[in-house]
Amino acid sequence: MSASKILVSLSNLSLSNDEKNKLITDLIEKCECVSKENPGNLCAKYATEYLKSEEGKSLSNEDLLGFYKCIKTGIENPDSKLGAYATKVGDYKKYHSFFDKVIRDYHGAKTEDIHSTDWTTLEDASFDLKECGLEEVSMRIRVGRNLVSFDLPASMDKIIRVQFEKKMTTAFDALKEKYGGVYHSLSPDWNEEKNPFLISTEKYEELVSRHFMFKDMSSDSYLSSASISSDWPYGRGCWISDDESNIIWVGEEDQLRIMCMKNGSDLLKLFEDLKDLLDSIEKVEGIEFAKDKDYGYITSCPSNLGTAMRASVHIKIPQLTIDGSISAVDHLCKPLGLSVRGTGGEHTPVVDGILDISPSSRLFVSESQILSTLYGGIQSVVAIDNHISNFLNGNAKGEKEGEQDENKCPSSFVLVENDKTVERDDDEKKRSQQAVKDMKKKMKQMKKSSLMGKSAKCLHLSPGPVLQLTNA
């Protein structure tokens, strides 16, 4: 039975027990099939377990339908890594035995880990990217937030999406005194009434190109299977402060994405500005962010729970992106706890050697740890890229094109472990092996183009890598 047929059958809440059991069996079969082909799909793996358990088998018709809505995207998109979204704030509690396994597996957490919020940074911490040799870069820190008084976007219909948007425009009024600000809306109408904040298509495109506004979500199959992108563009918009550095998205993957974005180098100032903005919004009457005692801030996707924070910078890494791909930077960044994207956002390519780098963890880490990870990670990546650059520039000195002196090329290319031993789990080991493989491939290319001596060797790559290039 197809995923949408299962949904139609489940929507008949007066199903008999036999009919329901038959649907559960179909669903288990479907999940097992997805899991077999895609063992990395956490949704399919744990939904199978859940539906076979006593708890799963005894779900009411209504709760089974609710559960199916959470897992539908992972079944319709077998290549999903996580594959499940909460559709209501209470889903993490209602389907706890399922979600808890998905969450702890995805975030590599122990059963007893609980999340706590902490924005405190050390008094003498600087986090100024100038100290890493960078001048002006594009910095952005965002958090996802959802209000307790509305369902999550996957459960909203067109009318509710617009009602939510209207509520937020009154909250934006309350921010006027401190931030000024203008709200830009995409809703063609407000439930048949005129929308006073509607912008033109040209204005929307301009806002997207300046990274102020999110892209059309309806082409994202993961979001559309979960109904998160339904009713596009109703209830979608963004608020931008007068100084253009405080931004609030309405109606993307979470009800709200709240962010500070600036060209500059002072990451700490940006972090503190975001905390101020969040405090100002929380003071507005009727605004209460949904929070869970174990998982922190509630978000649609379990990958964002906790801090719901992604702190990113767009930086140029010319040497490690010499082949036009993100793969070398990606493998270097993984052990540093960082993720890499193109500057157009997730699933976009590297352009001109500029990449989006951000810490991977959001849950069971504090906000201030995310800031430190980003700063420390950028320091390492920039240092490594500069190191390669220095070698290459050294080689090029006094040589005619195509006549590089091999003796001057780095003959060993070594990635060694930090002084202290870092514990690694099997996954990390596997990743390291993959990283070594990729690095070897990259070295082969560099040797071929005479950028590196023929005897260069990649000896080791591990968590907390230190790159050494020598002419020994």
Give whichever of 154 and 415 is closer to ligand ADP, judged by the CB atom: 154
Beta strand ranges found along 155-234 (DSSP E): 182-185
Give whichever of 267 and 439 is closer to ligand ADP, judged by the CB atom: 267
Give the nearest distance from C-beta 238 to ligand ADP in angstroms.
11
Tokens for 147, please give them.
């209000």
Dist. CA 232–CA 187, nearest whole Å: 8
Give whichever of 24 and 301 is closer to ligand ADP, judged by the CB atom: 301
Give the nearest distance from C-beta 107 to ligand ADP in angstroms.
17
Give the nearest distance from C-beta 211 to ligand ADP in angstroms.
4
CA torsion, points 314, 315, 318, 324, in degrees to nearest 10?
Answer: -10
Give whichever of 371 and 456 is closer to ligand ADP, judged by the CB atom: 371
Give whichever of 69 and 310 is closer to ligand ADP, judged by the CB atom: 310
The sign of the torsion formed by the CA atoms of 113, 117, 123, 128 equals: positive
Interaction site with ligand ADP (CB under 6 A): 138-140, 142, 211, 257, 261, 310, 312-314, 341, 343-346, 356
DSSP secondary structure letters along 360-406: S--SSS-HHHHHHHHHHHHHHHHHHHHHHHHHHHHHHTT--TT---G
Give the nearest distance from C-beta 261 to ligand ADP in angstroms.
6
Q: Judge residue 286's burial from the number of C-beta atoms within 10 Å of its C-beta, 0-12 exposed, 13-18 middle, 19 or more buried.
A: exposed
Nearest Cα to Cα of residue 336 among 366, 357, 314, 317: 357
- What separation in angstroms does the CA of 397 have from each of 258, 404, 405, 449, 472? 49, 9, 10, 16, 19
| Composition of the chain by helix, strand, coil, percent to 5 | 45, 15, 40
Around Cβ 186, how many Cβ atoms within 10 Å? 25
Give whichever of 158 and 316 is closer to ligand ADP, judged by the CB atom: 316
Give whichever of 31 and 277 is closer to ligand ADP, judged by the CB atom: 277
Give whichever of 140 and 161 is closer to ligand ADP, judged by the CB atom: 140
Give whichever of 138 and 450 is closer to ligand ADP, judged by the CB atom: 138
How many residues are given for the chain? 472
Answer yes or no: are the C-beta atoms of 364 and 117 closer than 8 Å: no
Answer yes or no: are the C-beta atoms of 136 and 315 closer than 8 Å: no
Parallel, antiparallel, or unpaired for β 412-416 and 466-470?
antiparallel
Dist. CA 272–CA 326, nearest whole Å: 30
Give the nearest distance from C-beta 17 to ligand ADP in angstroms.
42
Give the nearest distance from C-beta 385 to ligand ADP in angstroms.
18
DSSP secondary structure letters along 129-174: GGGGT--SEEEEEEEEE-BTTS--GGG--HHHHHHHHHHHHHHHHH
Nearest Cα to Cα of residue 187 among 231, 146, 229: 231
For residue 316, the surrounding DSSP H or E stretch is: strand 309-316
Give the nearest distance from C-beta 374 to ligand ADP in angstroms.
10
Tokens for 438, please give them.
């990729």
Give the nearest distance from C-beta 341 to ligand ADP in angstroms.
5
Give the nearest distance from C-beta 321 to ligand ADP in angstroms.
16
Give whichever of 378 and 458 is closer to ligand ADP, judged by the CB atom: 378
> Residue 235 phi/psi, 5° resolution?
75, 15
Binding residues: 138-142, 211, 257, 310-314, 341-346
Binding residues for ATP: 138-142, 211, 257, 310-314, 341-346
Task: Tell me which residue has its CB nearest to ligand ADP.
Answer: 345
